[in-house]
Chains A and B, each alone.
Chain A
Amino acid sequence: MNNLKNFTKGFIKENPVFILLLGLCPTLGVTTSAINGLGMGLATTFVLVGSNVVVALVKKLIPDKVRIPSFIVIIASFVTIIDLVMAGYVPALYESLGLFIPLIVVNCIVLGRAEAFASKNTVFSSLIDGLGMGLGFAFALTLLGAVREILGSYSIFGYKFINTDGILVFVLAPGAFFGLAYLIALMKKINK
């Protein structure tokens, strides 16, 4: 598999949210606005790239029977780092994402990529894979966040274009399911 293909597969062909349906908890939870989706997506990308690279580096040194706990410790370390950094430098975004930042630890995509890709491939292709998957995740979250923000509060990235309340249900939990369902259907059509 060449590197370009490896990178772009995360966006459409193997998009973690729309095709693999992994990591749906933060997908449904934080995407009340486009900026929240983007912030969450980028935080996850950082963790994915970091854990993929480290896992690929140390894969030979880890005995098979303890690989899952080892991967989780590596992932949790990166999550804690991004948690601290965000709390210090982007407090507003940190606040609106809240509990979902520490919960990146249990995001299936991160452990999934470590187990399915990084533990079997070279450091460089793991880096590309993490970057592609992470940005694909960020792309999906931003798209869903944008759809919900446009319909739910008539604004995009905080910029309001109609000065009334939107279709409230799209900001609430059911709206996340509606939005996701339509986007998945759309992606299926594009992939055909």
Chain B
Amino acid sequence: MAKKESTFFNMTLTLFVITAVAAVALGYVYNITKDPIQKAKDEKLKTAINIVVPGADKGTIEESKLSVDGGELVMYKVIVDGNCIGTAVKTFSNNGFGGLITVMVGFDSEGKIIDSNVLEHKETPGLGDKTSKSVAPWNEQFKGLDISQMKDQMLKVTKDGGVVNAITAATISSRAYCDAIQRGWKAYMDNISKAVAEDKQPDTDETVNETETDVEQIMEETNNE
């Protein structure tokens, strides 16, 4: 068979056929891999939550999103047997050595850090990637920290007058990690105080009613006597 001539019609037809076949093939592969990819993503998220809120794999997760500082925070409230055992917050910082760092941090009901870990980062391998649990035990020191007890309520590295020991030769990554947790903590605490404010209204009413009943009962009892 002779080689096709480069006429306008031939070229158009060839490119059209090739792209059409490619499109169909890719659509087919996409359909096959859609479920495994989604499953891998879910699995990854569950594992990430379970690291910062141990026991999350046995409970249900309530998800809520809010936008802060030009990015998106996601809160995962972990409920086991009807009790909230903690909230994992997916937070971020743009101040990493390689730009964006995404951090998952778990808080207990009082806002103390349960545990934290890096989800995504572009930090230098061997230095900044020590923020990740799988590489180094550096972020163990965040366990149990209570930001509300800190100076100015700010989580900082020791160089900046805080309590966090920065990674040697990766202060910028350490600062970004603190910044991400700080952002997550603030959003979490704001969320709690908002929820408390909403809850308070009916609470006060009930208390008042109870007091009134009590007073009436007492009065009735007094009258009876």
B26 / chain A contacts, CB cutoff of 8 Å: 77, 80-81
Q: Total contacts A to B, CB within 8 angstroms?
A: 79
Interface of B, helix, strand, loop or mixed by DSSP = helix
Q: Is A187's CB within 8 Å of the partner chain B? A: no
Q: With an 8 A cutoff between CB atoms, is B29 at the interface?
A: yes
- Size bracket of the B interface: 20 to 34
> Which of A15-23, A40-48, A63-71, A136-144 lines the interface with chain B?
A63-71
Inter-subunit contact B14/A66 (CB<8 Å): yes
Judge whether A171 is part of the interface by a CB distance below 8 angstroms: yes
- Cα–Cα, bound, A32→B127 (Å): 13
Interface residues of chain A: helix, strand, loop or mixed (majority): helix
- Decide: A74 and B4 in contact? CB cutoff 8 A: no
CB atoms of B29 and A74 under 8 A apart: no
- Residues of chain A within 8 A of B22, CB atoms compared: 73-74, 76-77
Q: Which residues of B contact A77 (CB under 8 A)?
A: 22, 25-26
**Does the CB pair A84–B33 fall under 8 Å?**
yes
Q: Is B223 an interface residue when CB atoms closer than 8 A count as contact?
A: no
* Cβ A89 vs Cβ B36 within 8 A: yes
Residue B124 at the chain A interface, CB threshold 8 Å: yes
Whether A70 and B14, one on each chain, are in contact in the complex, defined by CB atoms closer than 8 angstroms, is yes
Partner of B10, one of A63, A84, A153: A63
Contact between A60 and B5 (Cβ–Cβ < 8 Å)?
Answer: no
B125 close to A171 (CB less than 8 A): yes
A window 129-167: CB within 8 A of B: 152-153, 165-166
**Which residues of B are at the interface with A, using a C-beta cutoff of 8 A?**
1-7, 10-11, 14-15, 18-19, 22, 25-26, 29-30, 33, 35-37, 39-41, 43-44, 124-127
- Residue pairs across A and B with Cβ atoms less than 8 A apart, 8 shown, are A60-B2, A66-B11, A73-B22, A81-B25, A87-B37, A89-B36, A91-B43, A166-B126
| New A-B pairs, 13, CB < 8 Å, besides A58-B18, A89-B36 | A60-B1, A63-B5, A63-B10, A63-B11, A66-B15, A70-B18, A77-B25, A81-B26, A84-B30, A84-B33, A87-B37, A88-B39, A89-B33
